[in-house]
Amino acid sequence: MALLTLSSIETDIGGSRILRGVTLEVNEGEVVALMGRNGVGKTTTLKSITGMLPIRAGRMDFAGRRIDRLAPDLRARSGIAYVPQGRDIFPHLTVEENLRVGLVVHGRGRASDNAGLERVYTLFPVLKEMLARKGGVLSGGQQQQLAIGRALLTRPKLLILDEPTEGIQPNIIEHIGDTLKKLKDEGLDGRPVDLEVQNAIKVLKQEGGLAILLVEQYVDFCREVADRFYAMDRGAVVISGPIATLTDDVVKKHLQV
């Protein structure tokens, strides 16, 4: 079932047309990769979804509701969480303070907040070891884990990630990929099912799981975690399909510089 639908989206920046009729869907519980060379409109698409950029034409629907006329905060409260390129953590706040910012959005109560925090610590154990450290002193990979953890604390229906592997060591990329697959498969709510080892993922099962839309240029990462892909060129989607159809020929034609 479609959770997010973009229909013929056009977006301008500074009087220049950036998006030219972008149409795509993200279904409940799936990971969708939005791919393309630099400057083709991928980040503009994400910012249009979140409301950071107004669209010129087209329509967006999320969870059965039209959202393209909603303010960004209302889109976030409806269940869209966005981790931008560069992460945008608060460098002068501690890891714990950064995470607690994510809890303010909904204010579900102490018990729910504590459960959410424990879940993030299990997904990303290094964060629990660094709660008192300032966000600005963390490595790039640790900051990315912090940004994703903070976003998850808002209990989103859709998690949007812009270049989550940029500037990150391969072993951290692999860990983030494993985490995204588990989030897709097992969702956000329910009962913990694994507490045995340090790197085990404490998963709270939920019917339907969590949908993830990621902008990513690391092709192998997309092949590993995504269900479907869209490739963009010059502000439009030029090819899409199941991730199995992301062949080397497609990569050479639409993604390689």
Number of domain units in the chain: 1
Domain containing 56 equals: 2-254
Stated as kind and residue range, the H or E segment containing 125 is helix 125-129
The CA-atom distances, in angstroms, between 207 and each of 29, 53, 166, 210 are 9, 32, 31, 9
Q: Which residues contact 197 (CB under 8 A, 6 or more apart)?
A: none
Q: What is the mean pLDDT of each run of 10 residues along the chain (257 residues)?
A: 95 96 94 93 97 97 96 94 87 94 75 85 90 92 89 91 76 73 59 26 39 89 89 96 96 88
Q: Which of 50, 57, 90 is nearest to 74 (CA)?
A: 50
Quote the pTM value.
Answer: 0.84
Among 161, 155, 159, smallest CA distance to 206 is for 155
- Output the pLDDT for position 195: 27
Residues 6 or more apart in contact with residue 30 via CB below 8 angstroms:
184, 211, 212, 227, 228
pLDDT at 40: 95
Q: What angle separates helix 170-186 from helix 140-152, to the nearest 10 degrees?
A: 10
DSSP type of residue 93: S
CA distance 197 to 194: 8
Residue 55 has a pLDDT of: 97
The domain that contains 220 carries what CATH number?
A: 3.40.50.300
